Amino acid sequence: MRIALAQLNYLIGDFDGNVSKIIESVRKCREMNADLVVFAELSLCGYPPRDFLEFDDFINRCGLAIEQIAAECHGIAAIIGAPARNPDIKGKNLFNAAWLLADGDVKGMAFKALLPNYDIFDEYRYFEPNRSFNVLEFNGVKIALTVCEDIWNIGPDPLYVATPMDELIRQQPDIMINIAASPFNSDQESERAAVLATNARQYRLPLVYVNHVGAQTELLFDGLSRVLDAEGNTVMELKAFKEDLQYVDFEFDNERLIPLKPPQNHNELPSKTSLIHDALVMGIGDYFSKMGFKKAILGLSGGIDSAVTLALAAKALGPDNVLAVLLPSEFSSQHSIDDARQLAVNLDVKHEMISISNGYNSVLDSLKPYFDGLPFNVTEENVQARIRAVILMALANKFGYILLNTSNKSEAAVGYGTLYGDMCGGISVLGDVYKTQVYDLAHYINRDREIIPENSITKPPSAELRPGQKDSDSLPDYAILDQILYQYIEKRVGPSEIIAMGFDEATVKRVLKMVNTNEWKRHQTPPILRVSPKAFGSGRRMPIVGKYLS
Amino acid sequence: MRIALAQLNYLIGDFDGNVSKIIESVRKCREMNADLVVFAELSLCGYPPRDFLEFDDFINRCGLAIEQIAAECHGIAAIIGAPARNPDIKGKNLFNAAWLLADGDVKGMAFKALLPNYDIFDEYRYFEPNRSFNVLEFNGVKIALTVCEDIWNIGPDPLYVATPMDELIRQQPDIMINIAASPFNSDQESERAAVLATNARQYRLPLVYVNHVGAQTELLFDGLSRVLDAEGNTVMELKAFKEDLQYVDFEFDNERLIPLKPPQNHNELPSKTSLIHDALVMGIGDYFSKMGFKKAILGLSGGIDSAVTLALAAKALGPDNVLAVLLPSEFSSQHSIDDARQLAVNLDVKHEMISISNGYNSVLDSLKPYFDGLPFNVTEENVQARIRAVILMALANKFGYILLNTSNKSEAAVGYGTLYGDMCGGISVLGDVYKTQVYDLAHYINRDREIIPENSITKPPSAELRPGQKDSDSLPDYAILDQILYQYIEKRVGPSEIIAMGFDEATVKRVLKMVNTNEWKRHQTPPILRVSPKAFGSGRRMPIVGKYLS
C-alpha cells in the first residue's frame, strides 16, 4: 500500500481555496499511484478555526466541502480533518474528526478524544471528546486513526485519564495514522520527535504523521510530517516551513505492515536560532500574503530590534516591498542614524528620513498651558514615540503599507515601551524573542557577511528618548532579566524558587511585579509571532485587574 | 439552622485582602448566630484567576489562606470556593472546589463536575472535572453542594453528558447549596432565575445560591445571590451590584428542610437599560479602584458616545475625578463644542479645550514631501484622531489620569474608528453597547432632568473628520446595522438566515464582511465592559487571518 503525506498551507475558512488545494493533491497522488493520501487535522477549514465553529453556516460549508472532496476520491482514498456533528443530543455539538473518504463517499470516521485546552489551544470550547474507539479497515489494512493530542498522553504526569491508543491497540491495528495541527516553538520539534518515536515503539506499529505548515496569524506551523517504522525510526520526513508531498510504500511481512524504506540517518537538528529565524520569516510572509497585503513599513532606529525586524521582513517580503523610515528626534545620536542608513543600504531596502521635531514640539506647544514649569519626564518620552507612530501610520494609510512592530519579548514583559507608540503595528515580529535572543538572530543574519552593522550589535541598548538614556538605567542587565523572565514566563516558576536559583531577591520581585502590572499594556498589542512554548497572547491568559506578585 | 449568604467583591490574587474580607464576614455571621456562612465560587482567589492557576506558588497561597480561614471557623462553619489539588496522577492537577470549613478544619469538599469552557469561560483549561458525587453532612443536614455550572445542564440540548444533581439526589440531600461566579449580561438574570427555580422544583429541595459581586476588568458580577424554597419560589434575594450579607433560617418539617421565610412577591425586573447603566457604573468604579487609579480623562466631542461615557464616569468616580477635554479641529462644528461644554457644566465636570490644529498641521507638514498632490482621504482623518490620542495620553501620563475609551459596539463591530486614535483607552465603557442602546442610555441618564443636551441626542451622528461627514455616508442606518450585528454576533446566525429575516442581501454581506475583516483592529482595543451575552474580547475568539464571509 502506497501512502502519501500531503503537508499543505491552508487559509482558515477559505473553503474554495482549501478544497482546490486538497483536490489538486488528491489528483497528484493518484497519478503517483498512491492508494491513500493523508491531510492534516481540520485541514478543510484551517487551524484554528476558533469561534467560526459556532456558526451553523460554517459547519454546513465544511459538509459541502467534504462531499466535493469525496467525489474526487475514486481510485484513491483520502484521510482529511474536518469538524463533524455530534448526533447525540447530550454533549457539545461537534467532534474534531478524521474522515476516511473513498469510492466517492465517506467510508469511516475517527473522533478526537483528547482535546488540548492549554496554552494556545481551546478545543474543549468546541468539541465533545470521543469515548468509543474503533480501527478503520481500508484495503485489508487496519488503521488506528487518531487526531494529534490523542497520542500525546504518554508522560509520567498524564493530562488525561484515558489514552486512545490503549483502546485501539486491542483491535490489533496494522498501522497508526495521526493527523495533527502542531505549531512550532523552539522546543517543540525535539518533544514531538520523542512522542512519535515513543508511540511507534510502545505499540510496535509504524506511524504516519501529517502536520500543517504555514502561519495562521501568530501560530507558525513547521510541518515536518513524517513516517516512522515500528522501532520508532524515522523513514521519511517532509520539509520544515514549506509545503511538501511525499509517499512511502508499505507491505505485509509476517503479518506485520512494514514501510519499504530504511531508517534515515539521524540528522543534526538545526540550531534553535536558525529555526526561529525561518519560523519568523514564514510568519511575516504568510501574515502578509493571507491578509492580502504586500508592503511593510517600519521605524528604523539604528538599534538592534528594528534592524533584525527589517532583515527578516526583507527576507520574507523581498527588499522592494519594505520601507524603512528613520524618525530622528533631538535625542537621536548620529551613529544611530548612520547605522540605520547603512543597514538599509546593506539590505537594498528603500529608506526615508522624517524628523519628528515638528510634530513633537507642536503637541508640546498645545500642552504648554498645562505642562508649563513641570519637569520633562516619561510623558515627553511617550509623546516622541507616539508622534513616530502617527507618522508611520499616516504613511501606511496613504500608501498601503502595514506597520511592523519591532518590540522584543523582554520589553513586552516588563512594559518597557510606549503604548500607541513603539508598541503599534499589524504584527509583532520579535515579541516572543527575548533581547538576548535578538542578538543571536543578528549574528545569524550576519553569518555570511555583515548585514546588520556591527555597531548596532555592540552598542549599549537605548530608547534615545532623553539625553544619554540607556535601557540599563531602568532595567536589570538583559542577561539577568531574560533568565528571570524565562523562569517566570516559560517555566511558570514562582518568586521563591527563582530566588533559590541564586538571583537577587529584590531584582526578582521587581521583575515579576513589572510583568504582572503591565498586563494591561500587552492586552492592546498586536498579535505576536509565536516561537517559544509560552508566548504573550492567547497562550498566556492573565487577569488585568489583580494583585498577585504586584 | 441559620445559613448566611456572603456576597462580596473580591480582588483576583489578593489573598490578604480577600482573606480579611472573608474572615470579617465569618465573624459578623457568628455574631448573628449563623450556623453556616456561604461564600462564592473561587472566592478565596477571585474569579477568574486565569493562568495564575498554573503557578504552584499561587495554589500554595490558596492552601495557606484556607488554613487561615478554617482557623477562624469555630462556632460557625463556612463554605468557600478555592482550587484544590487533584491527588490522582492522571488528569489535570486541580479541581475547582467548594470547601466546607468547621471546628478549625476542613470538614469536606465538593469538586465541580461541569466546567464551562465557552464564551468568557476557560475552566477546562485548569480543572479536572469531578466524576464522583457525595453529599456532605453538617449538623444533621445533608447538603448537595455544587459549583455554579453543575446545576445548569438542564435545557433540551444539554452541553454535558452527566448532570451532578441527578447523582447527588440519590443520597437524599436536604438542601442544595450552589456557589457561583455568574457574571452579568442583560439576558442573564432572567435565565439564571429560571435555572435556579427549575432546579429547586425538579429536585424538590430548597436552594442557597451565592454569587460574586463587583467587576473584574471586563466581567461585571451582579450578585443577586438568593434562597429558594423547594417550590422554586425566591424567599430572599441579595442586592444587585453591591456587597450584601443576609441569612435565612431553615427547619425540618416532616423530614423536609424548609426555609422559615415566605416567598417574596415577584418583583418587576428593572429595565435592561437601567441594569446596563448600573453595571457600567460598577465596572468603571471597580476598574479604577482595583487598579489603584482615581482619575479619568476622556475626549468630549459633543456626540452621544462620549457624552454617555462622561455621565457614567462622573457617576462612578465622582465629577471631581473626571476631566473632559474638547479637542476641536477645523472640521468640528460650533454646536458640537457648545453641546460638549454644556454637558460638562451639567455634570459639574471640569473641562478643557485644546485645539488639535497645531499638531495635525505639523505632522502633515512633515509628510508634505510624500503626500504633496495626493487627495485628502482617510489618512488625514486618522491623523486627527491620532493627534487627539497623543494629547489625551500626554495629559494622562503627566497628571495620572486613565483614558476612557468611548467607542460603541456598532463601531467596534464594523471597524468604524481609528486604531491608536479614538480606539485608545484603559477600558472601553461602551464597547458592548450598540449605538441604538447608547441612545437608550442617554434617555435613561436624562430621565429626571436634561443632563445630556438634547442636541447631542437628536443630531445625526458624525465623526467630524471632514466637512459635512455623517456616519450614514459609510454605514447603514444604525437601526438596521444594529439588528444585523445582533443576529450575527449575539445569535451567531449566518448570512443566509439573516437575509431570510428580510434584510437586504447586499447590506448583510457588506456588514458581515466588515465585522470579519476588522478583527485585527479589535485585537488591539482595550478590555470592554461586558453587558451582553456576546461581547468583543475574550468571549468571542475569531481568527485574524482568515477568509470567511470576507
Give mean pLDDT, residues A321-334: 95
Of A129-138, B259-268, B363-372, B436-445, which gets the smallest average pLDDT? B259-268
Provide, as residue numbers in chain B, all residues whose Cβ is less than 8 Å from the Cβ of A287: 545
Q: Which residue of chain A is at minimal alpha-carbon distance from B17?
A: A547
Give mean pLDDT, residues A346-351: 98
- Place B326 in a pLDDT band, splitting at 50, 70 and 90: very high
Domain B2-262 superfamily per CATH: Carbon-nitrogen hydrolase (3.60.110.10)
CA distance B282 to chain A (A): 14
pLDDT tens string B481-523: 999 999 999 999 999 999 999 999 999 999 999 999 999 999 9
What does the pLDDT read at residue A268? 78
Provide, as residue numbers in chain B, all residues whose Cβ is less than 8 Å from the Cβ of A352: 370
SS3 sequence of B252-314: EECCEEEECCCCCCCCCCCCHHHHHHHHHHHHHHHHHHHHCCCEEEEECCCCHHHHHHHHHHH
Nearest to A11 among B52, B159, B547 (CB): B547
Helices of type H across B330-477:
334-347, 357-371, 378-399, 409-414, 435-445, 454-458, 471-474
Would the CB atoms of B50 and A495 count as touching at under 8 Å?
no
Provide, as residue numbers in chain A, all residues whose Cβ is less than 8 Å from the Cβ of B93: 157
pLDDT tens string B171-201: 999 999 999 999 999 999 999 999 999 999 9
Measured between CB atoms, does A424 come within 8 Å of chain B? Answer: yes
Q: What is the mean pLDDT of chain A?
A: 97
Indicate if ipTM > 0.95.
Answer: yes
In A428-487, the residues whose Cβ lies within 8 Å of chain B are none
Give mean pLDDT, residues B72-79: 98
Would the CB atoms of A543 and B91 count as touching at under 8 Å?
no
Provide, as residue numbers in chain B, all residues whose Cβ is less than 8 Å from the Cβ of A498: none
Provide, as residue numbers in chain A, all residues whose Cβ is less than 8 Å from the Cβ of B520: 291, 426, 527
Provide, as residue numbers in chain B, all residues whose Cβ is less than 8 Å from the Cβ of A393: 382, 386, 419-420
Residue B334 has pLDDT above 80, yes or no: yes
**DSSP letter, residue A151:** G
Would the CB atoms of B48 and A543 count as touching at under 8 Å?
yes
Residue A5 identity (one-letter amino acid): L
What does the pLDDT read at residue B99? 98
Q: Which residues pair with A19 in a beta bridge?
A: none
pLDDT tens string A151-210: 999 988 999 999 999 999 999 999 999 999 999 999 999 999 999 999 999 999 999 999
Would the CB atoms of A12 and B546 count as touching at under 8 Å?
yes
CA distance B227 to chain A (A): 29
Q: Compute the distance between CA of residue A12 and CA of residue B117 in angstroms, rounded to an integer.
A: 22
Architecture of domain A273-473: 3-Layer(aba) Sandwich (3.40)
Number of neighbours of residue B109 by Cβ within 10 angstroms: 17
What does the pLDDT read at residue A192? 96
Select from 3.40.50.300, 3.20.20.70, 3.40.50.620, 3.30.530.20 the CATH code of B273-472: 3.40.50.620
Nearest to A547 among B13, B93, B391 (CB): B13
Would the CB atoms of A161 and B90 count as touching at under 8 Å?
yes
Size of interface A-B (CB pairs under 8 A): 283
Nearest to A50 among B494, B520, B543 (CB): B543
Q: Which residue of chain B is at minimal alpha-carbon distance from A120?
A: B125
Pick left, alpha or beta for residue A411 (phi over 0 → left; psi -120 to 50 → alpha; otherwise beta). Answer: alpha
Measured between CB atoms, does B517 come within 8 Å of chain A? Answer: no
Residue A68 identity (one-letter amino acid): Q
In B363-402, the residues whose Cβ lies within 8 Å of chain A are 363, 365-367, 370-371, 374, 377-379, 382-383, 386-387, 389-391, 393-395, 397-399
Residue B158 identity (one-letter amino acid): P
Pick left, alpha or beta for residue B415 (phi over 0 → left; psi -120 to 50 → alpha; otherwise beta). Answer: left
- Per DSSP, the three-state class of B105 is strand
What does the pLDDT read at residue B265? 81
Q: Which residues of B253-274 are buried (b: 16+ CB within 10 A; e: fewer)?
A: eeeebbbebeeeeeeeeeeebe
What does the pLDDT read at residue A265? 81
Give mean pLDDT, residues A408-431: 98
- Place B268 in a pLDDT band, splitting at 50, 70 and 90: confident
The CA-CA-CA angle for residues B224, B229, B231, to 5°, reads 115
Give mean pLDDT, residues B241-246: 98
Measured between CB atoms, does A258 come within 8 Å of chain B? Answer: no
Q: Compute the distance between CA of residue B527 and CA of residue B525 in angstroms, rounded to an integer.
A: 7
- Per DSSP, the three-state class of A104 is coil
| Interface with B, mutate which of A290, A420, A489 (most B CBs under 10 A) | A420
Nearest to A90 among B161, B367, B419 (CB): B161
Architecture of domain A2-261: 4-Layer Sandwich (3.60)
Q: Which residue of chain B is at minimal alpha-carbon distance from A397?
A: B379
H-helix or E-strand containing B509?
helix B505-517
pLDDT tens string A99-116: 999 999 999 999 999 999
Measured between CB atoms, does A499 come within 8 Å of chain B? Answer: no
Measured between CB atoms, does A142 come within 8 Å of chain B? Answer: no
pLDDT tens string B409-457: 999 999 999 999 999 999 999 999 999 999 999 999 999 999 999 999 9
Q: Which residue of chain B is at minimal alpha-carbon distance from A62?
A: B548
What does the pLDDT read at residue B409? 98
What nine digits make up the cell of B82? Answer: 478555592
pLDDT tens string A74-102: 999 999 999 999 999 999 999 999 999 99
What nine digits make up the cell of B263? Answer: 416567598
Residue B267 has pLDDT above 80, yes or no: no
Q: Compute the distance between CA of residue B209 and CA of residue B42 in angstroms, rounded to an integer.
A: 14
Q: Which residue of chain B is at minimal alpha-carbon distance from A527?
A: B523
* Look-up of cell digits 528571570: A484
- Domain-wise residue ranges, chain B: 2-262, 273-472
Give mean pLDDT, residues B370-387: 97
Q: Which of B436, B426, B420 is nearest to B480 (CA)?
A: B436
What does the pLDDT read at residue A269? 79
The CA-CA-CA angle for residues B237, B184, B310, to 5°, reads 115
Residue B29 a catalytic site member = no
Q: Compute the distance between CA of residue B188 and CA of residue A238 in angstroms, rounded to an integer.
A: 51
Measured between CB atoms, does B353 come within 8 Å of chain A? Answer: no
Provide, as residue numbers in chain A, all residues whose Cβ is less than 8 Å from the Cβ of B387: 363, 390
What does the pLDDT read at residue A60? 97
A15-31 and A56-72 helices cross at what angle (nearest 10)? 20
Measured between CB atoms, does B352 come within 8 Å of chain A? Answer: yes
Would the CB atoms of A361 and B362 count as touching at under 8 Å?
yes
Residue A318 sits at φ, ψ, to 5 deg, of 90, 140
Measured between CB atoms, does A539 come within 8 Å of chain B? Answer: no
Would the CB atoms of A50 and B524 count as touching at under 8 Å?
no
What does the pLDDT read at residue B155? 86
Q: Compute the distance between CA of residue B515 and CA of residue B520 in angstroms, rounded to an integer.
A: 10
Measured between CB atoms, does A212 come within 8 Å of chain B? Answer: no
Residue A82 near residue A59, CB atoms below 8 Å = no
CA distance A415 to chain B (A): 15
Nearest to A382 among B124, B393, B550 (CB): B393
What does the pLDDT read at residue A245? 98
Q: What is the mean pLDDT of chain B?
A: 97
What does the pLDDT read at residue B73? 98
What does the pLDDT read at residue B86? 98
Catalytic member of B21, B112, B409, B534: B112
Residue B245 has pLDDT above 80, yes or no: yes
Rounded to whole angstroms, what are the CA distances from B236 to B5, B6, B43, B247, B259?
A: 10, 13, 21, 9, 10
Rounded to whole angstroms, what are the CA distances from B500 to A210, A259, B495, B497?
A: 41, 54, 8, 5
Measured between CB atoms, does A354 come within 8 Å of chain B? Answer: yes
Pick left, alpha or beta for residue A346 (phi over 0 → left; psi -120 to 50 → alpha; otherwise beta). Answer: alpha
pLDDT tens string A32-62: 999 999 999 999 999 999 999 999 999 999 9
What nine digits make up the cell of A332? Answer: 537621536
Provide, as residue numbers in chain A, all residues whose Cβ is less than 8 Å from the Cβ of B550: 13
Q: Which residue of chain A is at minimal alpha-carbon distance from B527?
A: A523
